[in-house]
């Protein structure tokens, strides 16, 4: 059983909960996720099964797309609604859509982001959230991220009674981006406290939310003896790579971990997918120093 399940992670579950349940459903230990989703976030969580666990890291580094909401006028220590309210500023005059668009635009491209205290980033051997739960604030180093776009997806709404305003957004971003921190930084640009009040991941690892299956659907497929209904094959998970069809002689070389001449890929792509008899067998990476492709990920079983 090799492939990727594009799981729809429901709210209230951790990513590790999903892994544990899938191991029991599929009766296999070779299960790995491609990056975690917070318990209060739902959406796409690609899960690698069998040989596909070898590409977990590759899928993890792919871009991600989220849709959600930012509420202006209040701030929480966790940067989402799971934490404690730490600041409130009544909004007497709503921020205009033009001002919102300008602030969102300032958070696009290559930017530096400081990880939130409520995160799993390790400092001195301990996760930041462990310090945060003790009421401690630790110095954190900002890290580079890339934001492809950050835009409104429908008009902002203003709550006259609560004196808050909600912005509805979609963001395309790189691995390592904390969207709740983007929400807080967005508020800072406007001079207002803010919090990420809703979030759904709609794309990750090359899969979008329309391709996902719930845990209950995976269980139903297994019970019906039709796992292929929810399991995306390696060929689909690796569709972004140029494909070279191996003949018998080159398959013999690859099956022994040998190198291949770069002539197999006229475009000299950095990574090429090697198929033999309609099955994905390997990813090979171009080594420019020797002018050959060498093993990168092997799926020989």
Name the percent of the chain lying above pLDDT 70: 95
**Model confidence pLDDT, tens digit, residues 227-284:** 999 999 999 999 999 999 999 999 999 999 999 998 888 888 999 999 999 899 999 9
- Residue in 2, 38, 77, 185 annotated catalytic: 38
Q: What does the pLDDT read at residue 117?
A: 63
How far, in Å, CA of 44 to CA of 197, rounded?
Answer: 18
The domain ranges of the chain are 3-61+205-236, 64-204, 241-298
Establish whether domains 64-204 and 241-298 are of one fold: no
**Model confidence pLDDT, tens digit, residues 84-98:** 999 999 999 999 999
If you classify domain 3-61+205-236 with CATH, what class do you get?
alpha beta
Q: pLDDT-based confidence at 122, cuts 50/70/90?
A: confident
**Can you identify the CATH homologous superfamily of domain 241-298?**
PUA domain (2.30.130.10)
How far, in Å, CA of 185 to CA of 65, rounded?
Answer: 18
Residue 38 is among the residues annotated as catalytic for this protein? yes
Name the percent of the chain lying above pLDDT 90: 75
Tokens linked to 185: 């930084």
Note the pTM of the prediction, 2 decimals.
0.89
- Comparing CA positions, the residue from 97, 109, 233 lying closest to residue 153 is 97
Q: What is the fold of 64-204?
A: Pseudouridine synthase (3.30.2350)
Q: 50, 2 in Cβ contact below 8 A? A: yes
Q: 95, 87 in Cβ contact below 8 A? A: no
**Model confidence pLDDT, tens digit, residues 187-201:** 999 999 999 999 999
Q: In angstroms, how far is CA 86 from the centroid of its own chain? A: 29
């Amino acid at each position: 059983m090799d492939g990727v399940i594009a799981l729809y992670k429901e709210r209230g579950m951790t990513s590790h909960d999903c892994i544990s349940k899938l191991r029991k459903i599929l009766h296999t230990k070779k299960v790995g996720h491609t990056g975690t989703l917070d318990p209060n976030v739902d959406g796409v969580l690609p899960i690698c099964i069998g040989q596909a666990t070898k590409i977990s890291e590759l899928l993890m580094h792919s871009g991600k797309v989220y849709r959600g909401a930012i509420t202006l006028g209040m701030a929480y220590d966790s940067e989402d609604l799971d934490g404690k309210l730490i600041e409130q500023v009544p909004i007497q005059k709503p921020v205009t859509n033009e001002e919102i668009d300008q602030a969102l635009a300032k958070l696009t491209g290559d930017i530096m982001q400081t990880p939130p205290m409520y995160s799993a980033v390790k400092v001195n051997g301990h996760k930041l959230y462990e310090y945060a739960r003790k009421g401690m604030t630790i110095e954190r180093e900002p890290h580079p991220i890339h934001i492809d776009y950050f835009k409104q997806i429908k008009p902002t709404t203003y709550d006259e009674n609560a004196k808050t305003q909600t912005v509805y957004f979609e963001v395309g971003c790189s691995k390592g981006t904390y969207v709740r921190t983007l929400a807080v930084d967005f508020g800072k640009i406007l001079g207002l406290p803010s919090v990420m009040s809703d979030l759904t991941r709609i794309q990750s690892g090359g899969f979008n939310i329309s391709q996902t299956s719930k845990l209950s659907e995976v269980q139903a497929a297994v019970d019906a003896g039709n796992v292929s209904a929810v399991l995306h094959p390696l060929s689909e998970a690796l569709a972004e790579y140029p494909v070279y069809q191996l003949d018998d002689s080159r398959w013999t070389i690859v099956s022994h971990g040998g190198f291949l001449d770069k002539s197999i890929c006229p475009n000299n792509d950095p990574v090429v997918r090697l198929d033999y008899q309609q099955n994905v067998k390997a990813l090979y990476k171009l080594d420019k120093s020797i002018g050959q492709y060498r093993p990168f990920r092997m799926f020989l079983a």
